[in-house]
Amino acid sequence: MVLLKDLVVVGQGAPNQLRDNRISVCVCACKLDSKELIRIYPVPPGWFRKWDIFNVEVEKNPQDNRENTWKIKNSKEDWKRLYKWIYKKKEKYPKNKREELVKSIGFNVLSELIENKKSFGIIKPIIKDFELEQKNKTTTKQLTLGDVTDLDEPFTIINQKDYKFKPYITYECDGNCKCKNKVHRQSISERGCYEFMRKYPGREMELSKALYLFDKEYNIYFLIGNIYKAPQTYIIIDIFRFKKQGLIKNDNI
């Protein structure tokens, strides 16, 4: 068992269903002392918000060899009592220091992450396109959970695969990316994107505007991470949006 201290939530994916039917999100956190990016899972939806600061007791999953990847201690046995192992602080990471924190972690290009088998990286993208790929006829609400309290519909959780659309971004890395194909198309797993589609059905095409993807007044950075079954495949876990004057607007989407 390991106690990880002074972590800041910098991203989390939309909910996914585990094999035993639990619904979980994967959290990416920055360790403030070393500026390392760390994967924490499984976490019930709604337990964390972006920029929360916390400590957590964790253990290794022998079946998951991705770098800096940890399971919450006794997560299966204590699923409804994970507060035993998570110590969330009252204050969030200061708004006026968030872009500085992202920059202090350092920027990467995709080829560098693949070559060094990194779990996460932050990309300065040159965005080419945004698209929604239809996966289902409609968005299906299949699961109800009694311990989720931060949603507009408190007891409804939608599994990521059950949404009507899946969002994708096509981009190039702003740097010397050595990938054979320098144009990357990656899906977005950011929870805020799926919450937008849940709250505003029929308005999904407005998502790119809500993300400020093509707004020249914003600095846009991608937090990308690899996936368990295909560690050389990366997806966009979170999109950082910082107004160039130093102000942050709607960065909790």
CATH value at residue 95: 2.40.50
| Residue 155 or 212, more confident | 212
Q: Given this model, what pLDDT does residue 96 score? A: 93
Is the per-residue pLDDT at 141 higher than 70? no
Per mean pLDDT, which range of 62-66, 140-144, 162-166 is the poorest?
140-144
Does one domain contain both 70 and 86? yes
If asked whether residues 70 and 123 sit together in one domain, one would say no
Q: Return the top range by mean pLDDT from 131-135, 143-147, 169-173, 203-207.
A: 169-173
DSSP class per residue in 108-154? B-HHHHHHTT-SEEEE-EEEEEEEEEE-SSS----EE-TT--SSSST
Decide if pLDDT at 224 tops 90: yes
Residue 183 has pLDDT above 50, yes or no: yes
Q: What percent of the chain has pLDDT over 90?
A: 62
Q: Are residues 41 and 60 in the same domain?
A: yes
Cβ count near 80 (within 10 Å):
9
What total number of domains does the chain contain? 2
Question: Which position has the higher pLDDT, 204 or 251?
Answer: 204
Tell me, yes or no, whether 111 and 60 share the same domain: no
Answer whether residue 231 is part of any domain: yes
Average pLDDT of span 121-149:
75
With contact defined as beta carbons under 8 Å apart, do 17 and 66 qualify? no
For residue 249, the model assigns a pLDDT of 54
The domain containing residue 62 runs over which residues?
Answer: 2-101
Q: Where are the alpha helices (DSSP H) in 49-109?
A: 98-105
Domain co-membership, 95 together with 112:
no
Same domain, 65 and 10: yes
Assess whether 62 and 84 both reside in one domain: yes
Do residues 165 and 209 share a domain?
yes
- Residue 148 and residue 233 in one domain: yes
Does residue 149 have a pLDDT over 60? no
